[in-house]
Amino acid sequence: MAIHPIEYRYGTEEMKRIWGEEAKLQKLLEVEVALARAEADVGLIPKEDAKTIAANINKVKVRRVKKIEDEIGHDLMAVVLALAEQCGDAGEWIHFGATSNDILDTALALQLRDGVDILEKRLKGLKDALLDQAVEHKHTVCASRTHGQIGVPTTYGLRFAIWASEVGRHLQRLEQLKPRILVGQMSGAVGTGAAFGPFAREIKERTMQYLGLDAVDVSNQLIQRDRHAELVMFLANVATTLDKIGVALRNLQRSEIAELEESFGPKQIGSSTMPHKRNPIKAEQVCGLARIIRAQVEPALLNNTLWDERDLTNSSCERVVFPEVMILTDHMIKTMTDIIQNLQFHPENIRKNLALLKGINMSEAVMIELAKQIGRQQAHGLIRKCAMNARKTGKHMKDVLLEDEEVSKHLAQDEIERLMSPDNYIGTAVEQVEQVVKKLRDKT
């Protein structure tokens, strides 16, 4: 019986496989094999027994491990005993000198490595989708909004370039994060390595080499959770970027604005009772799930405040936190990429909203030009007076400017008309888009 929405509604099969029971068991067994190989290398256990252990890991099944755990009440020891059953006398060497979290935390690093690879691929796909829209719409002039009010013109290309640049920074952060989270340990009961004797350091290094991981410099009974907290905070940051994009797209799809909208299938239903509805449900889903990711930051931080050399308060928590944040973030990035790739633009509404204030939003352009002749402060006061007059009377700003004797004294009619055109006042927006695209395309 499926209970959690991850089981039936959210997440890609690719990411969910990593966090399933079978995959986790496989990682635990891989770590046990790597440990046995490392111990055999230094002569701590017989080489033939290490080979026997490695040859039998595919015979260990989740069902058997669960049955043993029900009997003994220890999840990792159940894995050890299930493998030992398959290995005969060689089974006595499995897990020699190790503590549970040597295996659990190192296996977690292997899961995270696979998950991070998927997230990196997804982020690159989102970045490229945003860059494609930035290029497509670098000349699409539109109304900007600050405080929810229309400001001077901007371009859709610039908006998408800003978002793409942010995703590019997330890719940088992820690359910087990898060395801190993709690490394993093999340190024994409380981190001293005493059970491994004089070979402790070599066993740790060799085990990690077999697994393709870096080894922690130092640890107690578990890898310190500042590393994992950083990962969760990173994912919360990514989720917030997706949330921000989703909020912007939802606002731009409002009936009063309607400049763009999510794709809407030919048989898609927007409302169970209002047949006309075309709701931004995908963006809303992303925004909603972002709250779940951010909510996991505090548990991840608290998982670092354990008693002495360790306690178990992080364990139950992490069984929920890691699958949720990895699976849901992956789902959100994929969903947002689909939204961006399939956006429907409405140029007629973009132009309509650009002209909605009857030229008042072009006040800065006129003020800047006028300031060159009469000074900035005087020009600001004069154009503000004209703008308030236009707002009050409902006249077009151009007409108010032409009627004002002081303005007309310094600016000719054709100059005022030129300054009132939104297409003439986008500054370096196009060049900025081109620079961002060049920079980020080179880093794919």
pLDDT tens across 53-103, in order?
999 999 999 999 999 999 999 999 999 999 999 999 999 999 999 999 999
Q: Do residue 339 and residue 367 come from a single domain?
A: no
**Looking up tokens 């942010």, which residue turns up?**
166
Q: Do residue 177 and residue 302 come from a single domain?
A: yes
Q: Do residue 328 and residue 375 come from a single domain?
A: no
Q: How far apart are CA 227 and CA 186, in angstroms?
A: 17
Residues 28-53 have a mean pLDDT of 98
* Residue 224 scores a pLDDT above 80: yes
Cα–Cα distance list, 65 to 19, 69, 73, 74, 84 (Å)? 17, 6, 11, 10, 11
Which are the contacts of 324, defined by CB distance < 8 A and separation ≥ 6?
6, 292, 293, 296
Q: Do residue 350 and residue 412 come from a single domain?
A: no
Total-model pTM: 0.95
Q: Do residue 308 and residue 368 come from a single domain?
A: no
Is the residue at 2 inside a domain?
Answer: no
Q: Do residue 117 and residue 185 come from a single domain?
A: yes
Contact (Cβ atoms closer than 8 angstroms) between residue 383 and residue 366: yes
* Residue 315 scores a pLDDT above 80: yes
Backbone angles phi, psi at 73, to 5 degrees: 70, 30
Q: Do residue 435 and residue 422 come from a single domain?
A: no
Q: How far apart are CA 185 and CA 107, in angstroms?
A: 10
Is the residue at 206 inside a domain?
Answer: yes
Residues 202-231 have a mean pLDDT of 96
Does 147 participate in catalysis according to the annotation?
yes
Is the residue at 70 inside a domain?
Answer: yes
Q: How far apart are CA 139 and CA 134, in angstroms?
A: 9
Range of the domain at 325: 110-139+155-263+275-355+431-444
Q: How far apart are CA 36 and CA 28, in angstroms?
A: 13
Of the CA atoms within 13 Å of residue 114, those in its CB half-sphere come to 20
* Residue 275 scores a pLDDT above 90: no
Mean of the per-residue pLDDT values of the chain? 95
β-strands 260-261, 344-345: how paired? antiparallel
Q: What is the largest CA-CA distance in the chain?
A: 103
Span 163-196, pLDDT tens digits: 999 999 999 999 999 999 999 999 999 999 999 9
**239: Cα separation from own chain's centroid:** 5
Is the residue at 145 inside a domain?
Answer: no
Residues 37, 39, 42, 44, CA torsion sign: negative
Contact (Cβ atoms closer than 8 angstroms) between residue 163 and residue 130: yes
Q: Do residue 349 and residue 372 come from a single domain?
A: no
Is the residue at 121 inside a domain?
Answer: yes
* Tokens read off for 403: 């009627």
Residues 195, 199, 204, 206, CA torsion sign: negative
Q: Do residue 351 and residue 364 come from a single domain?
A: no
CATH number, residue 128: 1.20.200.10
Write out the DSSP string of 21-89: HHHHHHHHHHHHHHHHHHHHHTTSS-HHHHHHHHHTGGG--HHHHHHHHHHHS-HHHHHHHHHHHHHGG
Number of domains the chain contains = 3
Q: Do residue 200 and residue 324 come from a single domain?
A: yes
- Out of 147, 272, 276, 316, the active site residue is 147
Q: Do residue 340 and residue 361 come from a single domain?
A: no
Q: Using only the alpha carbons of the chain, give its radius of gyration.
A: 30
Q: Do residue 117 and residue 33 come from a single domain?
A: no
Predicted confidence at residue 139, as pLDDT, reads 98
- Out of 4, 74, 263, 271, the active site residue is 271
Is the residue at 51 inside a domain?
Answer: yes
Predicted confidence at residue 443, as pLDDT, reads 61
**Residue 260: which H helix or E strand, with range?**
strand 260-261
Cα–Cα distance list, 99 to 32, 76, 104, 435, 438 (Å)? 11, 9, 9, 52, 50
* Residue 444 scores a pLDDT above 60: no
